[in-house]
Amino acid sequence: MSGGDLINIHPTELKFPFELNKQSSCSMQLANKTDQYVAFKVKTTNPKKYCVRPNTGIVLPGSTCDVTVTMQAQKEAPPDMESKDKFLLQSVAAPHGATTKDITPDMFNKEAGKVMGEFKLRVIYVPASPPSPVPEGSEEGSSPRESVLENGNQNNVMFDASTRSGLEANHTRFMEEPRNKSSEDLMKKEISKSRACGFSFLFVVLVGLLGILAGYLVKKT
Residue 196 placed within a domain: yes
Domain assignment of residue 81, yes or no: yes
pLDDT greater at residue 25 or residue 217: 25
Maximum CA extent, the chain: 173
Last residue of a domain, one of 127, 158, 191: 127
Say yes or no: 151 and 199 in one domain: yes
Same domain, 48 and 91: yes
Q: Could you say which of 99, 127, 155 is where a domain stops?
A: 127
Answer whether residue 134 is part of any domain. no
High-pLDDT (> 70) share of the chain, % = 62
What is the reported pLDDT for 167? Answer: 45
153 and 113 within one domain: no
Band of the pLDDT at 195, cuts 50, 70, 90?
low
The pLDDT value recorded for residue 109 is: 92
Please check whether residue 132 lies inside any domain of the structure: no
Examine residue 138 and state whether it is found in any structural domain, yes or no. no
136, part of any domain: no
pLDDT, residue 188, reads: 67
Say which residue, 212 or 4, is predicted with more confidence.
212
Residues 103 and 25 in one domain: yes
The confidence score (pLDDT) of residue 9 equals 96
Q: Are residues 25 and 114 in the same domain?
A: yes
> Are 47 and 97 part of one and the same domain?
yes
Among 127, 161, 176, where does a domain finish?
Answer: 127
Is residue 135 in some structural domain? no
Q: Count structural domains, the chain.
A: 2
Same domain, 101 and 166: no
96 plus 152 within the same structural domain:
no
Give CA–CA dist 20/7, Å, rounded.
34
* Whether residue 167 sits in one domain with residue 60: no
Mean pLDDT of 126-143: 60
CATH number (domain holding residue 73): 2.60.40.10
How does strand 116-127 pair with strand 13-18? parallel
DSSP 87-118: EEEEEEEE-TT--GGG--GGGGS--TT--EEE
The pTM (predicted TM-score) of the whole model is 0.57
What is the span of the domain harbouring residue 157?
144-220
Residue 38 three-state SS: strand
pLDDT digits (tens, 9 = 90+) for 31-87: 999 999 999 999 999 999 999 999 999 999 999 999 999 999 999 999 999 999 999
Claim to verify: residue 90 and residue 43 sit in the same structural domain:
yes
CB 59 within 8 A of CB 98: no
pLDDT at 214: 73
More confident residue, 59 or 136: 59
- 79 found inside a domain: yes
Q: How confident is the model at residue 128 (pLDDT cuts 50, 70, 90)?
A: confident
Shared domain for 55 and 120, answered yes or no, is yes
Same domain membership, residue 153 and residue 120: no
